[in-house]
Amino acid sequence: MLLGVIADDLTGATDVALMLAREGMRVVQTVGVPTSATEFPDTDAVVVSLKSRTNPAVEAVEWSLTACDALIKAGAKQILFKYCSTFDSTEKGNIGPVIDALMKRLGAAYTIACPAFPANGRSVFQGHLFVGSTLLSDSPMKDHPLTPMKDSNLLRVLQPQSELPVRLVPFATVENGPDAVRNAFDVLAQDGPAIGVADAVTNEHLRILGAAFAGHILLTGGSGIAIGLPDNFRKAGLLGVKVDQSVFAAPEGNSAIIAGSCSAATRGQVADAKAKGIEAFEIDPIALAENRLSASTILEWTAQRLGRKPILIYSTAEPDSVRSIQERYGRDEAGIMVERLLGDVAIGLSKLGVTRLVVAGGETSGAIVSALGISMLQIGPEIDPGVPWTLAADGKVLALALKSGNFGTPDFFTKSLEMLG
Ligand code: ADP
């Protein structure tokens, strides 16, 4: 193993796995915290997907360190801590606490923090994160149910989460190439360990940053920061020519879509699928909380409809509605309640012969994969930037498209299933 990646959620893990696969690495994604029984396959990169974005920071730190130790033990020469390209975190973390802990564990003098992912419109300039042409704090991320992002200044967001100094490595330095970047990080860390938030607006900037970190033990960022890493290993003679990963055969069976994301993109995708005549079941969280709705109700509805066309089950709602649910039941409690239901629904769908499943939402995907007991995913073809089809790689007959809420074109749901033929 050359590269070990620790991702703080499942769709983020799939996203970075796809990035590495496209750059020619053999990649396997594992699900959950590794245990002493976990055997990593013989491959160039392993992406460990945790569900550590929104749980208590101590837990996120413990899981990330366990994953780090397991990856290093399995031979990883470099560790990448992957988080969301919209820097999803709360005031308490978990990005800062996990970076601090990994730096200490790996003895890193410095590390980079760069969530830029230009292919999906995420860019960092003067330490400010943009989503398309708007600042993060003006984007729909300001209304995220679990990690509302109300400040675009990444230094201001990260500093309170970390005990290490957080400094800017600006655009002008990045433009000057890998040596200039390395010098900037050396200067940054001359008085002790430090974190550099690096600007990046294009893939070229990300390749420069990647090259600057050749041989360095720890990087952190969105999936974009991984773009230059395979080439580092190739230049060092450790990685062969690019591997063709396009061979992908989805199992025959029924198709379904589950949406638990309330992001603007997913709201559009739900509307698009419904407008195209996909039959849809809308989950009412109040009915769920009052025990007037359960997985079996939804599965009975589904059983009558499964067949040639996919069906859609969604809890996706507008920000006002999400806010009122959260005020009523608590933010985390509402999230967990819906995630648990969708996990149970996924188990039922699998029993009903669903073998092709599209899921919208990072936390939602984590809950569903864990309910289904899937521990390893093989990365398949790309549907949209950051979202591939995957195959459950541990004997379960299931193709999964796990989409981070904000990703994908408006027709993502129908397009992804049509891709399978
Ligand atoms: P994204 O990828 O858009 O961040 P996630 O699945 O990670 O989506 O997060 C969405 C969270 O919102 C989940 O915890 C989910 O259970 C919760 N949720 C889904 N629908 C609703 C709703 N109608 N009201 C309140 N919370 C909801």
Q: Are residues 79 and 139 in the same domain?
A: yes
Of 201, 235, 269, the domain-final residue: 235
Query: Domain of 360: which CATH number?
Result: 3.40.980.20
**What confidence tier does 356 reach under pLDDT thresholds 50, 70, 90?**
very high
Query: For residue 250, how far is its CA from the centre of ligand 1 (angstroms)?
Result: 27
Query: For residue 15, how far is its CA from the centre of ligand 1 (angstroms)?
Result: 19
User: If you average pLDDT over residues 276-301, what whole number do you get?
Assistant: 97
pLDDT at 12 over 70: yes
DSSP 244: P
Mean pLDDT of the chain: 95
Query: For residue 331, how far is its CA from the centre of ligand 1 (angstroms)?
Result: 10
Q: Is residue 345 part of a domain?
A: yes
Nearest CA to ligand 1 atom 13: 335
Query: For residue 339, how far is its CA from the centre of ligand 1 (angstroms)?
Result: 8
Q: Are residues 221 and 261 in the same domain?
A: no
**What confidence tier does 35 reach under pLDDT thresholds 50, 70, 90?**
confident
Query: For residue 65, how far is its CA from the centre of ligand 1 (angstroms)?
Result: 27
Q: Is residue 273 part of a domain?
A: yes
* Three-state secondary-structure class, residue 330: coil
User: If you average pLDDT over residues 377-393, what whole number do you get?
Assistant: 90
Domain that holds residue 102: 3-235
Beta bridge partners of 29: 47, 377
Nearest CA to ligand 1 atom 22: 322
**What confidence tier does 91 reach under pLDDT thresholds 50, 70, 90?**
confident
Q: Is residue 246 part of a domain?
A: no
Q: What is the pLDDT of residues 105-134, one digit of tens each?
A: 999 999 999 999 999 999 999 999 999 999
Contact, 245 vs 21, CB < 8 A?
Answer: yes
Query: For residue 145, how far is its CA from the centre of ligand 1 (angstroms)?
Result: 6
Determine the Cα–Cα distance for residues 286 and 282; give it in Å rounded to an integer: 12
Q: Are residues 45 and 159 in the same domain?
A: yes
Q: Are residues 280 and 222 in the same domain?
A: no
Give me the pLDDT at residue 132, please. 96
**What confidence tier does 145 reach under pLDDT thresholds 50, 70, 90?**
confident
Q: Are residues 262 and 146 in the same domain?
A: no
The residue to which tokens 């589904």 are assigned: 302
Closest Cα to residue 258, out of 333, 364, 348? 364
Q: Are residues 183 and 116 in the same domain?
A: yes
Task: Look up residue 25 and give its two tokens.
Answer: 């690495």
Of 235, 266, 300, the domain-final residue: 235
Query: For residue 357, how far is its CA from the centre of ligand 1 (angstroms)?
Result: 18
User: If you average pLDDT over residues 193-202, what whole number do you get?
Assistant: 98
User: If you average pLDDT over residues 186-195, what whole number do you get?
Assistant: 97
Return all residues near 416 (Cβ < 8 A) that are at least 6 apart. 358, 383, 387, 389, 401, 408
Q: Is residue 329 part of a domain?
A: yes
141 lines ligand 1 (CB under 6 A): no
Q: Is residue 244 part of a domain?
A: no
**Nearest atom of ligand 1 to the alpha carbon of 265:** 3
* Three-state secondary-structure class, residue 259: strand
Which of 88, 313, 338, 406 maximizes ligand 1 atoms within 8 Å of its Cβ, making it the mutation to test the pocket?
Answer: 338
146 lines ligand 1 (CB under 6 A): yes
Q: Are residues 129 and 265 in the same domain?
A: no
339 lines ligand 1 (CB under 6 A): yes
* Three-state secondary-structure class, residue 54: coil
Q: Are residues 287 and 413 in the same domain?
A: yes
Q: Is residue 248 part of a domain?
A: no
Query: Domain of 40: which CATH number?
Result: 3.40.50.10840
Q: Are residues 45 and 104 in the same domain?
A: yes
Query: For residue 270, how far is its CA from the centre of ligand 1 (angstroms)?
Result: 14
**Nearest atom of ligand 1 to the alpha carbon of 365:** 6
Of 179, 202, 235, the domain-final residue: 235
Q: Are residues 142 and 202 in the same domain?
A: yes
| pTM for the whole structure | 0.86
pLDDT at 314 over 70: yes
Q: What is the pLDDT of residues 231-259, one digit of tens each?
A: 999 999 999 876 665 567 899 999 999 99
Give me the pLDDT at residue 378, please. 86
Calculate what percentage of the chain has a pLDDT beyond 70: 98
Query: For residue 260, how far is its CA from the centre of ligand 1 (angstroms)?
Result: 5
Kindly report the backbone phi and psi dihedral angles of residue 131, in degrees, each rounded to the nearest multiple of 5, phi listed first: -115, 105
Give me the pLDDT at residue 247, please. 66
Q: Is residue 354 part of a domain?
A: yes
315 lines ligand 1 (CB under 6 A): yes
Which of 262, 282, 336, 342 maximizes ligand 1 atoms within 8 Å of its Cβ, making it the mutation to test the pocket?
Answer: 262
- Give the total number of structural domains in the chain: 2
Beta bridge partners of 377: 29, 392
Q: Is residue 92 part of a domain?
A: yes
User: If you average pLDDT over residues 227-232, what whole number do you get?
Assistant: 97
Count the Cβ atoms, other than its own, within 10 Å of residue 301. 13
Give me the pLDDT at residue 246, please. 58
Q: What is the pLDDT of residues 47-74, one digit of tens each?
A: 999 989 989 999 999 999 999 999 999 9
Q: Are residues 231 and 135 in the same domain?
A: yes
User: If you average pLDDT over residues 185-206, what whole number do you get?
Assistant: 98
CA distances from 80 to 98, 255, 310 (A): 12, 34, 37
Q: Are residues 178 and 293 in the same domain?
A: no
Give me the pLDDT at residue 249, please. 86
Neighbour order of strands in the sheet with 122-125: 122-125, 128-131, 134-135
* Higher per-residue pLDDT: 241 or 302: 302
Q: Which helix (H) or strand (E) covers residue 66, if one does?
A: helix 57-73
**What confidence tier does 393 reach under pLDDT thresholds 50, 70, 90?**
confident
pLDDT at 210 over 80: yes
